Amino acid sequence: MFKRFSVDEHVSTSSKVKSSQQRSVRSKVVEQYPDLEPYAEMLMPKKAPMVVAKCHNHIQIVLHEGEPVFFNQRDGPFMPTLKLLHKVPHVMKQVRADKGAIPFVLSGANVMCPGLTSAGGDMPESLEAGTPVAIMAEGKEHAMAIGILTMSTDDMYEFNRNSKSCRNKNKGVAIEMVHFLGDDLWTCAHID
């Protein structure tokens, strides 16, 4: 989503939003990420005006003092930026990709099933398809990317357990990449 993102080219407008819309964004974010509630006032103060940058492809970026903190596409879920996720690491559900997947993830590729179901990978059970997740690297403590599950983790576990009968099922895209270390949202420091 942000692989070829440029503030100058892709940000159409940035403007302060009405207080009702500010309350709506804040409540959606806290509803999606309950562990973020203690930090909500710091990230999105009630008294300070909220600025939202509207970009091409129906992307909205919520800014705090010019720094991107959350984004969403169309009416999809709000997702924190990696910079925010490094400050407050346990806000999102996390999956871990094995060492073999790391260079591909850092170049913006989608995460494939074997990268999560192999010995170095890990994922919680019972995450539904469409859930935003933080993608951790094997042996590292900070997230390297954010993506959206394309299939449930139960399906991936089931395919891995029954690999003899479902050998071809443990293939394909497990997580659609949204934002990763080194992409243009990561490198942009400030949006006016």
In a domain, 152, yes or no: yes
In a domain, 70, yes or no: yes
Q: What is the pLDDT of residue 166?
A: 41
Do 169 and 116 have their domain in common? Answer: yes
Tell how strand 111-112 and strand 11-16 pair up. Answer: unpaired
In a domain, 188, yes or no: no
Do 13 and 71 have their domain in common? Answer: yes
Do 76 and 121 have their domain in common? Answer: no
Do 33 and 105 have their domain in common? Answer: no
Q: How many CA atoms lie within 13 A of 114 on its CB side?
A: 8
Do 76 and 100 have their domain in common? Answer: no
In a domain, 121, yes or no: yes
Q: Other CB atoms closer than 10 Å to residue 13's CB: what's the count? A: 8
Q: What is the pLDDT of residue 176?
A: 94
Whole-model pTM: value is 0.86
In a domain, 153, yes or no: yes
Which residue reads 């003899």 in tokens? 164
Do 60 and 134 have their domain in common? Answer: no
CA distance 84 to 63: 11
Q: What is the pLDDT of residue 145?
A: 96
Which residue reads 């400050």 in tokens? 87
Q: Other CB atoms closer than 10 Å to residue 54's CB: what's the count? A: 14
CA nearest to 170, candidates 180, 162, 179, 160: 160
In a domain, 168, yes or no: yes
Do 104 and 127 have their domain in common? Answer: yes
In a domain, 190, yes or no: no
Q: What are phi and psi of 61, to 5 degrees?
A: -120, 120
CA nearest to 168, candidates 159, 158, 176, 177: 159
Domain count for the chain, please give it: 2
Q: What are phi and psi of 9, to 5 degrees?
A: -90, -35
CA–CA distances in Å: residue 9 to residues 6, 76, 132: 5, 23, 26
pLDDT digit string, tens, across residues 88-129: 988 999 999 999 999 999 999 999 988 888 888 888 888 899
Do 58 and 105 have their domain in common? Answer: no
CA distance 124 to 192: 38
Do 107 and 150 have their domain in common? Answer: yes
pLDDT digit string, tens, across residues 170-179: 678 999 999 9
Q: What is the pLDDT of residue 161?
A: 55
Do 159 and 135 have their domain in common? Answer: yes
Q: Categorize the per-residue pLDDT at 165 as very low, low, confident or very high, splitting at 50, 70 and 90.
A: very low
In the chain, what percentage of residues exceed pLDDT 90? 45
Do 167 and 136 have their domain in common? Answer: yes
Domain boundary residue among 24, 54, 80? 80
Question: Kind and range of the H or E element at 164?
Answer: none
In a domain, 114, yes or no: yes
Domain boundary residue among 26, 50, 80? 80
Do 114 and 176 have their domain in common? Answer: yes
Q: What is the pLDDT of residue 70?
A: 93
Please state, rounded to an integer, the average pLDDT across all residues of the chain.
Answer: 86
Q: Categorize the per-residue pLDDT at 69 as very low, low, confident or very high, splitting at 50, 70 and 90.
A: very high
Range of the domain at 40: 7-80
Task: Say which CATH number the domain at 148 has.
Answer: 3.10.400.20
pLDDT digit string, tens, across residues 25-65: 999 999 999 999 998 888 888 888 899 989 888 889 999 88
